[in-house]
Chains A and B, each alone.
Chain A
Amino acid sequence: MAESNSVVTTSPRSLDEGRQAIPEYRRLMVEPEKCTGCRTCELFCSLKNQGEVNPARSRIHVVRSQTDGVITTVPIVCQQCDDPLCMAMCPAGALSRNLETFAVVVDTDKCLGCRTCVEVCPFGAPSVDPRTGKSDKCDLCGGDPTCVKYCSQEAIKFVFAEEESMTRKRDMADKYLEHLRTSSARVV
């Protein structure tokens, strides 16, 4: 990314200005019910962003539970919030919005490694990398997320706002249509 005015480095307020300039962004959309827990996203994320395969240093984590044999797997990744707590709370001003990708990105030169972003994030998405001692979080791979490419379940998608939860909307619509078609209360 070239040094340009597309990077806003300060407060959330300037976000609005940015959004007027670039009205549409794609976001990572996670559908946990589709996830099988294979962690391919973790493997590829760490290889792409850390240069080694290491799920512990991945920026996306599949949280697995197998209590009583029931397996649940939920991928957790930065949601690139509209009004990010991490960005607001960072004492060093190391977090900023990249207006080309809409990702909240870390300036490692400024980062103190103080873990404030880790503590305030409601998702627990960022982490402080043990290797570098700096905050480390999803930057959407510069606008082309690697995890999305290799998720064979399409449990992680990279979509515009209008496409978000489209599968679920479609499923609901299908159910509704099926009900209309089969119930006594026919519309036609």
Chain B
Amino acid sequence: MPYLYGGTILRVDLTKGEIKTVPTDRYASKYVGARGTNARLLYEAVDASTDPLGPENIVCFGSGPLTGTTFPGCSRTDVMTKSPVTGLIGDCSFGGDWSAELKNAGWDHVVLEGKSPHPVYVYIRNDKVEIRDARPYWGLPNYEAQAKIRADLKNENYKIVSIGPAGENLVTYASVHSNIGNSGSRTGIGAVMGSKNCKAIVVRGTKGIAVADPDAFLEACGEAHMHIRGTEAYAEYHQIGLLADELAYVRCGIECGGDAHETAPSFDDKFEYSDFNKRYGYKRTGCMGCPVHCMEAYNVPDIGATIISCELYPQLGAELRNYDERLWYHMVMQCHKQGVDNTSVATILQWLMTLWELGIIDESITDGYRMEWGNAEAIEGTFWNIVNRKGFGDILAQGMRVAADYMDDMISLEARGGQSTYYHAMQVNNNPMYGIVGRFHGQALAYSVGRRSDLISDLDMTEFLIVSAPVYPIWDDATKQAYTEGEQAEGLRLGGTPEAADPEGYKGKAALVHDMGMTIGLPDTVGTCKWHTKFLYMYIDAPHYAKALTAGLGRAVSPEELVNASLRMRNLERALENKLGRRRENDTIPEKEFDKKVAHGYWKGKLGTSREGLERMKSEYYLIRGWDLQTGIPYKETLLEYGLDDVAADLASLGILPERTETDTVRAMKDPTLAYILMDEEEKRARAGGRAAGSGNGQKGAVETESAVSS
């Protein structure tokens, strides 16, 4: 078994009932693992004609070289498929201990192909792999199904990832779920698994993960643990998780979504998360090998027990103006159990409530439910109709686009105020978004260019911190100031201008979003948790990964090599998305959100993203990435730089491969909205003393651009 890897990729053909294996190294030498290898596997399997819910689509579950090891945050599983929600890349990462178990069984990735004629689950115990009958478990919610499988196998040590009834019923935004509360929710991976009639993948592994130099590896991992435990952010997250963050985001107006946002009363007056935590939280918990423990375990009398963390707090609460904590808690738990994406459900309900408030829809469309803000009966009734595909819920289960077309057919254009109902849908490429983050400039860019039409991979945490610091619940003024100044320095370092860290500015935001995307790519390829990076101010970075990999693999791994792999992966993903149809015009926020001011909380009456501002940030971002300004497709030169020659050839054969020309740069130079990006380079370098090592592509892109202009 090769060091740090299981060594083999498992391909399960559910149509033929065949098991095939591929050596991991064929992919890992170039793409490292996890999200990187998954992206390559998916690139080879799908194209624009692939039906996401057809047997030709594949689902890749993947671990990386540090998954399941002593490295902090070793718990992540990356899952990738062609999304039934967006028709583009569907990708999620979930924690727990599933992929660690998978690696201990000797497998790095599991790829599900084809479609089984009846419900099955994939059983893996070390080298033994079987496709087993899942009919006894079909229809069961996630918690119950997993408990029953473990009981039937008479072994509590099996790790299981499963789908709930929503996935079985092909609700397009269904999730996959592991343990209690480890959920891969976005972009409908559960529906793809459901379309393959695959209820679960059940794993037990006892083979271990080989390490080249155990002492040095232990030291490198120990250092990373202690590094995290020494950060200021850790002290907070370790004690209270993201309770304070989420409250701050609500208070500053980020996570109080869509039109609920316009008139919603101050949410924190209604519902204090930490108060709920005090009453019903019985334990902090977290994923394997993590010192942070960011999740809260709750047990509420007469409802039950589940885990809540992060965005799950505001979504089915604040965003629906639902201030009934018991209803909110019940709904979050049912999202876990039925296996459906919390964000999508919340955003779709919020959309209906907006349409109701505007008088566009009535009971004749909504199966008799009065979609008033916070209406318990409407929230719960619609939820169950979606999961069970009944009535209007059957339409909603197919996603916002289909539901909008249906409603547009039923309602006259006049009654719709001359707009499609889709105009009111908070979505990017049909992927329901959360909050009104589009009104914050950095997040508007992040949402637009995000690799799964979501902001969680390339985002602007500098902006998140600066806008939320003034209303952060537990910090004193000195802490607020220290954090803010730290992020302002980061903005100046990366963006080259103070405007980069100014919430009102546009300039330099692209550099911050790009840098975060690159940083997050590191844990995503090695298979650890992105929260430990600068994403949540714990600052695990390329040198930490490189040191551990060097000791574990027994060969020198440089931080630059990892950064390069992260950028290679991102360009590969972008090329795949372009191949599936994504272009510059798809990189956007909802039409309705342009020029809307924040209407609630600390930033009330301020900010708001203009169309011109967004286009400007996008151009800046493409220039840094090395993507064509007209189409948003990576230049041939960019793809070749990262060794993606065959991808370049593939795009060329489709006739969509752009080449970097002098004209592009000259055109950018003449374009008043773009010129400053190029002109500021001198100033940037003078100010920041050149980019810090590790932001390779940004610097290179800029240098090349400039030399092209001067020649």
Which A residues lie at the B interface, using CB under 8 A?
36-40, 43-44, 46-48, 50-57, 64-71, 73, 130, 146, 149-150, 152-153
Chain A residues whose C-beta falls within 8 Å of the C-beta of B288 in the assembled complex? 38-40, 43
Contact with A along B178-211 (1 / 0, CB 8 A): 0110000000000000000000000001111111
Q: Looking at the complex, which of B17-25, B290-298, B532-540 is the stretch in contact with chain A?
A: B290-298
A54 touches B229 (CB 8 A): no
Chain B residues whose C-beta falls within 8 Å of the C-beta of A70 in the assembled complex? 282, 297, 299, 305
B258-311 contacts to A, CB under 8 A, are 282-293, 297, 299, 304-307
CA distance A150 to B70 in the complex (A): 10
CB nearest to B207 among chain A residues: A54
CB nearest to A69 among chain B residues: B305
Q: Quick one: which of B147, B207, B286 contacts A38, CB cutoff 8 A?
A: B286
Chain A residues whose C-beta falls within 8 Å of the C-beta of B225 in the assembled complex? 40, 150, 152
B473 beta carbon closer than 8 Å to chain A: no
B69 touches A53 (CB 8 A): yes
B68 beta carbon closer than 8 Å to chain A: yes
A40 touches B208 (CB 8 A): no
Chain A residues whose C-beta falls within 8 Å of the C-beta of B333 in the assembled complex? 69
B104 beta carbon closer than 8 Å to chain A: yes
CA distance A128 to B199 in the complex (A): 35
- Scoring B104, B289, B290 by chain A CB atoms within 10 A of each residue's CB, the highest score goes to B289
A54 touches B305 (CB 8 A): no
B156 beta carbon closer than 8 Å to chain A: yes
Chain A residues whose C-beta falls within 8 Å of the C-beta of B286 in the assembled complex? 36-38
B351 beta carbon closer than 8 Å to chain A: no
A36 touches B206 (CB 8 A): no
Q: Quick one: which of A37, A43, A68 contacts B70, CB cutoff 8 A?
A: A43
Chain A residues whose C-beta falls within 8 Å of the C-beta of B208 in the assembled complex? 46, 50, 52-54, 56-57
B607 beta carbon closer than 8 Å to chain A: no
The smallest C-beta distance from A12 to any residue of chain B, in angstroms, reads: 34
B304 touches A69 (CB 8 A): yes
Chain B residues whose C-beta falls within 8 Å of the C-beta of A149 in the assembled complex? 222
Q: Quick one: which of B104, B179, B304 contacts A54, CB cutoff 8 A?
A: B104
Q: Quick one: which of A36, A51, A68 contacts B304, CB cutoff 8 A?
A: A68
Interface of B is mostly: mixed
CB nearest to A153 among chain B residues: B293
B110-162 contacts to A, CB under 8 A, are 143, 147, 156
Which B residues lie at the A interface, using CB under 8 A?
68-70, 74, 97, 100, 104, 143, 147, 156, 179-180, 205-211, 214, 217-218, 221-222, 225, 229, 238, 282-293, 297, 299, 304-307, 333
17 A-B residue pairs with CB within 8 Å = A36-B285, A39-B97, A40-B288, A40-B289, A43-B68, A44-B218, A48-B214, A54-B206, A54-B207, A54-B208, A54-B209, A56-B104, A56-B206, A57-B206, A57-B208, A69-B299, A130-B206
B97 touches A52 (CB 8 A): no
CB nearest to A151 among chain B residues: B291
CA distance A73 to B284 in the complex (A): 11
CB nearest to A149 among chain B residues: B222
Chain A residues whose C-beta falls within 8 Å of the C-beta of B218 in the assembled complex? 44, 47-48, 146
CA distance A81 to B43 in the complex (A): 57
- 8 cross-chain pairs, A with B, having the tightest CB-CB distances, nearest first: A54-B208, A152-B291, A69-B305, A56-B206, A52-B208, A70-B305, A53-B209, A36-B293
Given that A39-B288, A53-B70 are known contacts, is A152 also in contact with B238, CB under 8 Å in the complex? yes
Given that A54-B104, A152-B225 are known contacts, is A68 also in contact with B305, CB under 8 Å in the complex? yes
The smallest C-beta distance from A130 to any residue of chain B, in angstroms, reads: 7
Chain A residues whose C-beta falls within 8 Å of the C-beta of B299 in the assembled complex? 69-70
CB nearest to B103 among chain A residues: A53
Chain B residues whose C-beta falls within 8 Å of the C-beta of A56 in the assembled complex? 104, 205-206, 208
CA distance A67 to B292 in the complex (A): 24
Chain B residues whose C-beta falls within 8 Å of the C-beta of A68 in the assembled complex? 143, 304-305
B291 touches A40 (CB 8 A): yes
Chain B residues whose C-beta falls within 8 Å of the C-beta of A46 in the assembled complex? 208
Chain A residues whose C-beta falls within 8 Å of the C-beta of B211 in the assembled complex? 47, 51-53
The smallest C-beta distance from A68 to any residue of chain B, in angstroms, reads: 6
CB nearest to A57 among chain B residues: B208
A152 touches B229 (CB 8 A): yes
The smallest C-beta distance from A133 to any residue of chain B, in angstroms, reads: 15
CA distance A50 to B282 in the complex (A): 35
CB nearest to B206 among chain A residues: A56
CA distance A178 to B284 in the complex (A): 25
Q: Name 17 extra pairs, CB < 8 A, besides A47-B211, A47-B221, A54-B208.
A: A43-B70, A44-B222, A47-B69, A47-B214, A51-B211, A51-B214, A52-B210, A53-B211, A66-B147, A68-B143, A68-B305, A69-B299, A69-B333, A152-B225, A152-B229, A152-B292, A152-B293
Chain A residues whose C-beta falls within 8 Å of the C-beta of B222 in the assembled complex? 44, 149-150
A38 touches B289 (CB 8 A): yes
Chain B residues whose C-beta falls within 8 Å of the C-beta of A73 in the assembled complex? 285
Chain A residues whose C-beta falls within 8 Å of the C-beta of B143 in the assembled complex? 66, 68-69
Chain A residues whose C-beta falls within 8 Å of the C-beta of B205 in the assembled complex? 56
Chain A residues whose C-beta falls within 8 Å of the C-beta of B214 in the assembled complex? 47-48, 51-52
CA distance A39 to B229 in the complex (A): 17
CA distance A150 to B220 in the complex (A): 13
Given that A50-B208, A150-B222, A152-B225 are known contacts, is A67 also in contact with B289, CB under 8 Å in the complex? no
Chain B residues whose C-beta falls within 8 Å of the C-beta of A53 in the assembled complex? 68-70, 208-209, 211
Chain A residues whose C-beta falls within 8 Å of the C-beta of B147 in the assembled complex? 66-67
- Scoring A48, A55, A70 by chain B CB atoms within 10 A of each residue's CB, the highest score goes to A55
B179 touches A66 (CB 8 A): yes
The smallest C-beta distance from A35 to any residue of chain B, in angstroms, reads: 9
- Scoring A50, A56, A152 by chain B CB atoms within 10 A of each residue's CB, the highest score goes to A152
Chain A residues whose C-beta falls within 8 Å of the C-beta of B229 in the assembled complex? 152
The smallest C-beta distance from A37 to any residue of chain B, in angstroms, reads: 6
CB nearest to B75 among chain A residues: A38
The smallest C-beta distance from A2 to any residue of chain B, in angstroms, reads: 22
Chain B residues whose C-beta falls within 8 Å of the C-beta of A67 in the assembled complex? 147
CA distance A44 to B287 in the complex (A): 15
Chain B residues whose C-beta falls within 8 Å of the C-beta of A69 in the assembled complex? 143, 180, 299, 304-306, 333
The smallest C-beta distance from B147 to any residue of chain A, in angstroms, reads: 7
- Scoring A47, A51, A57, A67 by chain B CB atoms within 10 A of each residue's CB, the highest score goes to A47
CA distance A185 to B209 in the complex (A): 61
CA distance A34 to B229 in the complex (A): 17
Chain A residues whose C-beta falls within 8 Å of the C-beta of B291 in the assembled complex? 38, 40, 150, 152
Given that A52-B209, A53-B69, A69-B180 are known contacts, is A40 also in contact with B290, CB under 8 Å in the complex? yes
Given that A37-B285, A38-B286 are known contacts, is A66 also in contact with B180, CB under 8 Å in the complex? yes
The smallest C-beta distance from A129 to any residue of chain B, in angstroms, reads: 11
B68 touches A36 (CB 8 A): no
Chain A residues whose C-beta falls within 8 Å of the C-beta of B297 in the assembled complex? 70-71
Chain A residues whose C-beta falls within 8 Å of the C-beta of B97 in the assembled complex? 39
Chain B residues whose C-beta falls within 8 Å of the C-beta of A38 in the assembled complex? 286-291, 293
CB nearest to B147 among chain A residues: A67
The smallest C-beta distance from B76 to any residue of chain A, in angstroms, reads: 14
CA distance A130 to B208 in the complex (A): 12
CA distance A46 to B217 in the complex (A): 12
The smallest C-beta distance from A82 to any residue of chain B, in angstroms, reads: 31
CA distance A142 to B287 in the complex (A): 29
CA distance A47 to B351 in the complex (A): 51
Chain B residues whose C-beta falls within 8 Å of the C-beta of A57 in the assembled complex? 206, 208
The smallest C-beta distance from A47 to any residue of chain B, in angstroms, reads: 5
CB nearest to B3 among chain A residues: A52
CB nearest to B333 among chain A residues: A69
The smallest C-beta distance from B706 to any residue of chain A, in angstroms, reads: 47
CB nearest to A33 among chain B residues: B283
